[in-house]
Amino acid sequence: MIAVYIRVSSTSQKTDSQKAEIRQWLKAHGEKPSSVQWFEDIETGTTLNREAFQKLQTAIFKGEVKTVVVWKLDRLARKIRDGINTIADWCDKGIRIVSVTQQIDLSGPTGHLLASLLFGIAEIELQHSKDRQSAGIALAKKNGVYTGRQPGTTISNPERAQELKGQNFKIQEIANALNVSKRTVSRYLQSYE
């Protein structure tokens, strides 16, 4: 089945132009818009905790979706790490990802090469970010002002991790959904055992 994901950030924005271009792509590829499952969010792309996006993730995990069509890749996520993790996870599951306006089709050898390039760039950026963070922490320690993360603070919602585990989500899938590392998910789950 084909799933279409569209998103705008606020209620003052409309999805009409996204829908029109996606319908045009579907028609050109012999697909009827009525035979496609549509997922629509009106929420910021800086979080993956969006209702329709989570429903799409669930449909993918259940094997109900084979192709995801978006107007533009940034509709999936606004943070590069979130976007790359989502795309990597979907590619691992054999999901075809199509970005209509960017004319990107992440299927077949060329799509996998493009995805690899995107992942490589993201990995380099992530490493640079970690290096900058380490340098900042080292300087703060040297100056005696580093206190680290306060005990008891969490990046995401540990209860949500437990809920997803109860729905038979894998650790990596939970990590992607909560935008945390697999190690953090493991710590969240251990706190409930």
Whether the CA torsion 80, 83, 86, 92 is positive or negative: it is negative
Whether the CA torsion 176, 172, 107, 119 is positive or negative: it is positive
| pLDDT tens-digit readout, 16-29 | 888 999 999 999 98
CATH architecture for the domain at 2-111: 3-Layer(aba) Sandwich (3.40)
Query: How would residue 15 be classed by pLDDT, with cut points 50, 70 and 90?
Result: confident
Domain limits, the chain: 2-111, 158-190
Helix ranges restricted to H, 15-157: 16-28, 51-61, 80-92, 108-142
Q: Is 80 left (phi over 0), alpha (psi -120 to 50) or beta?
A: alpha
- Does 130 have pLDDT greater than 70? yes
Query: From CA 2, how far away is CA 12, in angstroms rounded?
Result: 28
Residue of higher predicted confidence among 108 and 37: 37
How much is the pTM? 0.58
| pLDDT tens-digit readout, 172-190 | 888 877 778 888 888 888 8
SS3 117: helix
Query: How would residue 115 be classed by pLDDT, with cut points 50, 70 and 90?
Result: low
- Residue 5: what are its φ and ψ, rounded to 5°? -115, 125
